[in-house]
Amino acid sequence: MLTGMSDTSLVKLAQAGNGEAFGMLFQQYKMEIFGYLRGRLGNAEEAYDLTQRTFLKAWQKLPQLHDVSKFKPWLYTIARNEANDWWQSKVKTPLESLEQLEEQHVLVSKPGPEDEVAETELVMLALAELSPKYRDCLLLQIEGGLTLSEIAGMLGITQESATTYASNARRQFRQAYRRLKGELNIAIEGSILVERRLKP
């Protein structure tokens, strides 16, 4: 019944207590919020939990949202705070090494196409090499589709700084991903050689 309604109308209805409208907002934003959190945390299971908590908080605090047109940046602010709290509770530095990722079971051996799993792992490793502020900025831009001015507002920095962060983040990610992919290819080739030598 609410299909086709604008986000603004859905938010207003949800503010009035309409759960159906909130459910539609959840369906609309859950994937990107999950993607943002997974990128921030480097951990899929925690990202599931934090996505749920983000929407739980959004539902509770929705009546306090004055400018309904700013729902999306507002939602991302909640998600970002959740991610920051999570990191603080872990009292750990952001992901830095392959070993650390392995410890946290990020590099899961889930069933599925091997290439896809490897690709995901490489992306997570490349993201982990970025500094937290660059990673945050890049994820908000790619997953959230937020503008640089919105990101600047959320992070409390100037738009010029947000532009620099985004630019550096994308370039560093590109370099890191290429390097890691190269290393992986060398490792695979090496293991194939070893296997051939072992064969009778």
* Binding site residues, another protein, CB under 8 A: 9, 12, 16-20, 22-23, 26, 30-31, 34-36, 38-39, 44, 47-48, 51-52, 55-56, 59, 110, 112, 119-120, 123-124, 127, 138-139, 142-143, 147-148, 163-164, 166-168, 170-171, 173-174, 177
Q: Which is nearer to another protein, 108 or 194 (CB)?
A: 108
* Smallest gap from residue 31 Cβ to another protein (A): 6
Q: How far is CA 148 from CA 28, 44, 139, 162, 169, in A?
A: 22, 26, 12, 6, 13
Token reading at 143: 């997953």
* Smallest gap from residue 101 Cβ to another protein (A): 13
* Smallest gap from residue 22 Cβ to another protein (A): 6
Burial of 100 (0-12, 13-18, 19+ CB in 10 A): middle
Token reading at 179: 């390097």
- Residue 136 one-letter amino acid: D
Enclosing H/E stretch for 34: helix 19-41
Alpha carbons 143 and 90: distance in angstroms, whole number = 24
Nearest to 112 by CA among 104, 103, 121: 121
Q: Which is nearer to another protein, 61 or 190 (CB)?
A: 61
Q: Which is nearer to another protein, 48 or 103 (CB)?
A: 48
Residue found under tokens 């502020």: 133
- Please tell me what DSSP assigns to residue 145: -
Q: Which is nearer to another protein, 12 or 100 (CB)?
A: 12
Q: Which is nearer to another protein, 100 or 120 (CB)?
A: 120
3-state percent helix, strand, coil for the chain, nearest multiple of 5: 80, 0, 20
* Smallest gap from residue 174 Cβ to another protein (A): 6
End-to-end CA separation in angstroms for the chain = 68
Q: Which is nearer to another protein, 19 or 190 (CB)?
A: 19
